[in-house]
Amino acid sequence: MSKKSSIKLIPLGGFNEIGKNMMVLEKGEDMIIIDCGVMFPDEEFPGVDYVIPDFSYITRNSSKLRAIIITHGHEDHIGGLPFLFKEVMAPIYATKLTKGLIELKLNEHQIFEGVEVNEINENDVLNIGPFTIEFFRVSHSIPDSVGIVIKTDVGTIVHSGDFKFDQSPMYGKSTEFSKIGAFGMQGVLVLLCDSTNSEQEGYTLPEKVVGKALLEKFSQAQGRVIVATFSSHIHRIQQIMDMSEKFQKKLAISGRSLLKTIKIAGELGYLKIPDQMIIPINKIDEYPLKKVTILATGTQGEPLSALYKMAVNEHKRIQIMKSDMVIISASPIPGNEKAIANIINMLIKNGADVLYESIAGVHVSGHAAQEEIKMMINLIRPKYFIPIHGDNMHKVQNGKIALEVGIPEENIVIAQNGDVIKINSSLCKVSKNINTRTIYVDGLGYGDIDDIVLKDRKLLSKDGVVINIVGLDLIKEEIFYEPDLTFKGITFIENFDAIIKECKNIVSESVRSCFKNNLKIPATIEKYVNDRLEKYLIKKIRIKPVIITKVLPK
């Protein structure tokens, strides 16, 4: 009997954070990818639009890449595809709605050629190289979500995708419990299981709970109802439409991503939009306040979102008034809590009645809590267990849940991004790490921004910048243009004129010190002046701004 080969699992994202989920499965000369997402940065990454996985391993092994399988259409699972396709190409397999959202995203990035997006459903079977791939339907906060079953001669690997066990879904079909159990009966070597809500006891509440809360809030509203939710939360958008229809309200949409998603979901039949309900945002003043619902982006405090612009009175069409009810129907992504709290406070200051998850029950998660994770493990009955989709505390907690239901501790693998997990019928362990980098999308470019760049951005946002210009005659060793200092982004400083005068004296003294020591290279003088100014400002007014000195040589 020939010796069976091993499979390598290499997580490129989603194992050290919530977001940018991406998993590579490799067997011999064949490789497939599950998901390719982005992560939205918090305030620790000023100026960064997204964080994406490091594709270096894939580009080095592009000849092996056979397919990309997508579990569902959330940004943290599809948002990285346009950036991946700048490096490599491979056919995509996704369910109907997910396919539509992927095609929308690729069009936004003007990727029109060379991409093959194949539609699949939960009953399809794909034969790709040594992998036989099947699917099972799961409940999540977006329709058409699936788990993935990968069968090989080594054994069967099950990827849960993002899931929860909503046994009475408001829209769409429920989780295929019997199918999951049947795969478990056939024997599963490894379960890769969603860890996002592994710290939550009990069961995740069903979507119907939000429907009841929205019904109550809509009935109490005295004026406009403004609801912020994720643009991809189709079930929630449908509920808002249903409530608006029930209370005979028109619905206006503020946010480009919402408009595009609603258009796609409506065309594909995943949203039932009542006739003549949706009105342009510039028509809202034509209707009584009580007859208007506004659906908006901005649940995570994004500075360019519709809700943020309303909060800071910069929205072109909507000004918050005292009769407004604002419902934030989403939970904070870790790291965004402060930004969301700021928006809530600004909305309240402007007179709005603001309702959010922790006080009003207007959101439920799309991820499994502890009892649902136990149920998934008991249905699948895997030999090995690998927590996915979370940072270390989520994964460790998920491992403890697996331990509770009988998975031996030595069969639970807590891995990190870049780990190479080697698997065969008698082994599941991390063999090495490929040292993935953090890749930032910054404007139109992307790459691994140096730590010094991020450090400078943080300093700029916190302590501002000092620009210093001085003209020097390097031959005569004289200052022909006196130091000219400009302070930007720095809060009020007592005795500011005296501080400026002292800074100019420090620049002049520093220049003379350089000449005395025969230092005449402009870059050397600039660095010395910067160091002296920085020490003075830290000591005198306790700030550390970015200091830029420019020597104008004569």
Topology (CATH) of 7-202+365-447: Metallo-beta-lactamase; Chain A (3.60.15)
pLDDT given at position 458: 56
pLDDT, mean of residues 28-35: 97
The pLDDT > 70 percentage for the chain reads 93
Q: For residue range 119-162, what is the model confidence (pLDDT) as tens digits?
A: 999 999 999 999 999 999 999 989 999 999 999 999 999 999 99
Give 54's pLDDT tier (boundaries 50, 70, 90).
very high
Average pLDDT, stretch 90-105? 96
Q: Does the structure show a pLDDT above 80 at 460?
A: no
Catalytic option among 233, 363, 367, 394? 367
For the domain made up of 208-356, give the CATH fold. Rossmann fold (3.40.50)
- pTM beyond 0.85: the answer is no
Per-residue pLDDT at 338: 83
Which of 22, 103, 102, 90 is CA-nearest to residue 55? 22
Q: How many helices (H) and strands (E) does the chain have?
A: 16, 26
Q: pLDDT averaged over the chain?
A: 90
pLDDT at 2 over 50: no
Return the amino acid letter for 384: Y
Residue 40: predicted pLDDT? 78
> CA 28, CA 6: separation in Å to the nearest integer?
8
pLDDT in tens, 489-516: 776 677 888 888 999 999 999 999 999 9
- Interatomic CA distance for residues 159 and 139, integer angstroms: 14
Nearest-angstrom CA–CA distance, 63 and 117 = 19
Q: Which helix (H) or strand (E) holds 230?
A: none
Give the C-alpha separation, 148 to 182, whole Å. 14
* Res 330: pLDDT: 87
Asked if residue 439 has pLDDT above 90, the reply is no
451 a catalytic residue? no
Asked which of 5-14, 309-318, 409-418 is least confident by mean pLDDT, the reply is 309-318
Query: Which runs of consecutive H residues, i.e. helices, occur in 411-472?
Result: 451-463
Q: Please report the pLDDT score of residue 554 as a whole number.
A: 83
**Residue 366 predicted with pLDDT over 80:** yes
Between 133-142, 409-418, 451-460, the lowest mean confidence (pLDDT) is in 451-460
Q: Which residue is associated with the tokens 């603001």? A: 354
The arithmetic mean of pLDDT across residues 435-460, rounded, is 62
Q: What would you report as the CA-atom Rg of the chain, rounded to the nearest whole angstrom? A: 28
pLDDT at 491 (0 to 100): 63
The answer for residues whose C-beta is within 8 angstroms of residue 400's C-beta and 6 or more apart is none
Residue 285 falls in the annotated catalytic set: no
- pLDDT bin (cut points 50, 70, 90) of residue 539 is confident
Contacts of 318 (CB under 8 A, 6+ apart): 226, 254, 281, 284, 294, 306, 310
CA atoms within 13 A on the CB side of 253: 19
Q: Quote the pLDDT of residue 445.
A: 53
What is the model's pLDDT at position 447? 54
Q: What is the CATH topology of the domain spanning 463-553?
A: Ubiquitin-like (UB roll) (3.10.20)
Residues 6+ apart with CB under 8 A from 375: 165
pLDDT for position 452: 47
Confidence class for position 4, pLDDT limits 50, 70, 90: low
Q: What is the mean pLDDT of residues 479-489?
A: 90
CA distance 164 to 207: 11
Q: Which residue has the higher pLDDT, 9 or 444?
A: 9
Q: Taking the domains of the chain in order of start, what are their residue ranges?
A: 7-202+365-447, 208-356, 463-553
Task: Assign 131 to helix, strand or coil.
Answer: strand
Closest CA to 7 of 421, 413, 432, 383: 421
Q: How many CA atoms are closer than 13 Å to the CA of 31, on its beta-carbon side?
A: 21
Average pLDDT over residues 460-489: 87
Residue 79: is its pLDDT beyond 80? yes
Is the predicted pLDDT of residue 399 greater than 70, yes or no? yes
| Range name among 26-40, 142-156, 271-285, 300-314 with the lowest pLDDT average | 300-314
What mean pLDDT is predicted for residues 71-79? 95
Q: Does residue 455 register a pLDDT over 60?
A: no
Residues 292-345: tens digit of each pLDDT: 999 999 988 887 789 999 999 989 899 999 999 999 998 887 777 888 898 999
* Residue 215 CA: distances (Å) to CA of 168, 360, 482: 18, 12, 69
Instruction: Mark residue 486 as left, alpha or beta (left: phi above 0; alpha: psi -120 to 50; beta: remaining).
Output: beta
The C-alpha atoms of residue 282 and residue 316 are separated, in whole angstroms, by 9
DSSP state of 164: B
pLDDT at residue 232 above 80? yes
From 35, 76, 144, 194, the catalytic residue: 194
Residue 23: beta bridge partners? 11, 34
* pLDDT over 90 percentage in the chain: 72
